[in-house]
């Protein structure tokens, strides 16, 4: 080999990106006798610092790497080896060294040299490491998510099992997909006899309930969701049940679409309690009214037969007793009415009613009870409405007695009756304490009493509630306009009576 060639080869080695060293195995401790430019660049050492040292100097303090043993084994067997070993640059920085070692053997089989080729694969290693970490973290996340999902499922199912209501999930052909324990307990059925079966065929077609069928077949498709749908049904084994249902068909896209959720409240006991409460109230108010009837009768007899002999003081006392007996009577009546209205039991016996007569009757009654007030009735025509006269009288009486009660400083109440479109409007206006705007929507609630007036004006807070219900039942409206400190105007409307429309 001539010098020119050797120089060419050296140049070639120096232009390689891989670090290349040659060691002399025949010398003590196998020192490095050659390194190329790239080796200097990778390690940060200069050629002067490298030549003469054993390769292990690159391992720094990090001597106990398994890869060293591997290199040793290959060297002993005179094999080529490829390992990745942690090495340290002159500045102490770690780099991963991909090291190829091949022994050079002479004719006698002695290893004269080792040629080492090394590449800095730190960046690949880092990427690999990051990838591994990323993968591990993704795996952790999946484990975490799966755990969360599982916990969520358990949480949801414990909610479903805790709810005091029966819950069913149906597919779009009304097969029961799942049901909670409350359902099994309430309707005394087993899971095996329920899951997978068509709802209407459950328990030998016990669930073949026409109302339920029409709910699911006809109403739900166009009125989703359905709330508070009442169904009564006699089950052969558990007797008559009143059920209140909510039904919801899932509309969001995905695997649950078109499933039907059915929540069933067993309202049998509640209805029974309501019925007993109504019975109790109606018996109680009847019993209370009996002595009241006697008292009222006796007082009127007293007024009738001894009027001429009564001193003014005496007759004032008797008048006051009459007033308070009337009030007591009204409270008892209201109590009974509330319970009836609440359960929808109030019956109206509608007939054509002449409004002028009804209002005049109320006006007469009210002024007879309280002579300190004057009622100014403005009615421009005779109007007939189709109504339950007693109930309408009750509403007018209620509005008038409120007007009297809450306008102690004024002695004037106005009633105006007029025709508005196909309605008759009756307005009762007082010039009393009025109602603040915030309160005007609440005063029609049951048992609602304006807190500032509660002490000075006794009552139970059901008069307006009942009045509103009565007017609603008559397809009219009841509302109030009021200015605090100036007075209130209560208005109600009733449809005008027309022979053709109403009496069917």
Binding site for another protein (CB under 8 A): 282, 285-286, 289-298, 300-301, 304-305, 325, 329, 333, 336, 340, 346-347, 349, 390, 394
CB of 473 to another protein, least distance (A): 12
CB of 318 to another protein, least distance (A): 13
Cβ atoms 143, 135 nearer than 8 A: no
Nearest residue (CB) to another protein, 37 versus 296: 296
Rounded CA-CA distance 243/50 in Å is 93
CB of 364 to another protein, least distance (A): 11
Cβ atoms 407, 469 nearer than 8 A: no
* Spatial CA neighbour of 21 closest among 110, 107, 97: 97
Alpha helix locations (H) across 32-121? 37-43, 47-50, 66-76
First to last CA, the chain: 127
Residue 429, strand partner residues: 414, 489
Nearest residue (CB) to another protein, 113 versus 391: 391
Nearest residue (CB) to another protein, 111 versus 460: 460
SS3 per-residue string spanning 308-336: CCCCHHHHHHHHHHHHHHHHHHHHHHHHH
Cβ atoms 468, 392 nearer than 8 A: no
CB of 426 to another protein, least distance (A): 20
CB of 340 to another protein, least distance (A): 7
Nearest residue (CB) to another protein, 74 versus 340: 340
CB of 388 to another protein, least distance (A): 8
CB of 374 to another protein, least distance (A): 22
Rounded CA-CA distance 345/277 in Å is 13
Q: How many CA atoms lie within 13 A of 292 on its CB side?
A: 18
Nearest residue (CB) to another protein, 328 versus 460: 328
Residue 246 backbone zone (phi > 0: left; psi -120 to 50: alpha; other: beta) = beta
Rounded CA-CA distance 175/202 in Å is 10
Positions of E strands within 342-450: 351-354, 374-379, 384-387, 412-420, 423-430
Nearest residue (CB) to another protein, 176 versus 387: 387
Rounded CA-CA distance 417/426 in Å is 5
CB of 243 to another protein, least distance (A): 29
CB of 278 to another protein, least distance (A): 12
Nearest residue (CB) to another protein, 244 versus 331: 331
| CA 416 to the chain's CA centroid | 47
Nearest residue (CB) to another protein, 26 versus 390: 390
Cβ atoms 205, 212 nearer than 8 A: no
Burial class of residue 464 in the structure, from the number of CB atoms within 10 Å of its CB (0-12 exposed, 13-18 middle, 19+ buried):
buried
Nearest residue (CB) to another protein, 349 versus 409: 349
Nearest residue (CB) to another protein, 294 versus 408: 294
CB of 299 to another protein, least distance (A): 9
C-alpha R_g of the chain:
49
* Spatial CA neighbour of 430 closest among 485, 470, 393, 379: 485
CB of 359 to another protein, least distance (A): 18
Rounded CA-CA distance 148/231 in Å is 39
CB of 330 to another protein, least distance (A): 11
Nearest residue (CB) to another protein, 94 versus 283: 283
Cβ-Cβ contacts under 8 Å for 340 (sequence gap 6 or more): 278, 282, 346
Provide the 10 A C-beta neighbour count for residue 176.
22
Nearest residue (CB) to another protein, 470 versus 480: 470
Nearest residue (CB) to another protein, 231 versus 321: 321
* Spatial CA neighbour of 231 closest among 286, 180, 166: 166
* Spatial CA neighbour of 344 closest among 495, 473, 164: 473
CB of 275 to another protein, least distance (A): 16
């Amino acid at each position: 080999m001539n010098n020119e060639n050797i120089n060419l080869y050296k140049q070639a080695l120096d232009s390689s990106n891989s670090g290349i060293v040659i060691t002399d195995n025949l010398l003590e401790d196998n020192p490095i006798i050659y390194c190329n430019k790239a080796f200097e660049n990778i390690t940060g050492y200069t050629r002067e610092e490298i030549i003469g040292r054993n390769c292990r100097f690159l391992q720094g303090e990090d001597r106990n790497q398994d890869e060293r043993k591997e290199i040793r084994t290959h060297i002993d067997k005179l094999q080529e080896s490829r390992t990745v070993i942690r090495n340290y640059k002159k500045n102490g920085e770690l780099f991963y060294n991909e090291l190829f070692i091949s022994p050079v053997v002479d004719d006698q089989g002695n290893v004269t040299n080792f040629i080492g080729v090394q590449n800095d694969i730190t960046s690949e290693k880092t990427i690999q490491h990051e990838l591994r970490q990323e993968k591990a973290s993704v795996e952790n996340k999946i484990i975490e998510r799966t755990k969360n999902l599982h916990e969520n499922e358990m949480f949801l199912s414990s909610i479903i099992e805790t709810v005091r209501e029966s819950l069913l999930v149906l597919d779009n052909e009304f097969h029961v997909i799942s049901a909670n324990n409350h359902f099994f307990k309430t309707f005394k059925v087993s899971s095996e006899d329920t899951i997978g079966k068509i709802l209407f065929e459950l328990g030998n077609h016990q669930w073949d309930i026409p109302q339920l069928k029409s709910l699911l077949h006809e109403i739900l498709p166009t009125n989703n969701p359905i709330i508070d749908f009442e169904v009564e049904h006699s089950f052969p084994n558990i007797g008559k049940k009143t059920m209140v249902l909510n039904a919801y068909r899932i509309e969001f896209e995905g695997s649950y679409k078109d499933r039907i959720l059915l929540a069933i409240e067993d309202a049998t006991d509640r209805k029974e309690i309501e019925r007993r409460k109504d019975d109790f109230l109606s018996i109680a108010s009847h019993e209370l009214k009996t002595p009241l009837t006697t008292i009222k009768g006796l007082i009127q007899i007293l007024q009738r037969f001894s009027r001429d002999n009564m001193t003014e003081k005496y007759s004032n006392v008797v008048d006051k007793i009459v007033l308070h007996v009337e009030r007591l009577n009204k409270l008892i009546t209201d109590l009974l009415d509330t319970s009836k209205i609440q359960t929808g039991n109030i019956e109206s016996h509608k007939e054509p009613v002449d409004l002028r007569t009804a209002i005049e009757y109320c006006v007469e009654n009210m002024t007879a009870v309280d002579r300190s007030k004057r009622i100014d009735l403005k009615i421009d025509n005779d109007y007939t409405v189709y109504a339950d006269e007693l109930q309408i009288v009750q509403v007018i009486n209620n509005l008038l007695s409120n007007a009297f009660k809450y306008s102690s400083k004024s002695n004037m109440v106005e009633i105006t009756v007029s025709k508005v479109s196909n309605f008759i409007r009756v307005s009762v206006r007082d010039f009393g304490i009025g109602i603040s705007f915030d309160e005007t929507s609440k005063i029609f609630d049951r048992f609602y009493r304006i807190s500032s007036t509660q002490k000075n004006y006794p009552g139970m807070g059901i008069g307006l509630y009942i009045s509103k219900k009565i007017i609603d039942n008559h397809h009219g409206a009841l509302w109030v306009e009021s200015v605090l400190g100036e007075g209130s105007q209560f208005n109600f409307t009733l449809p005008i009576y027309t022979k053709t429309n109403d009496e069917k």
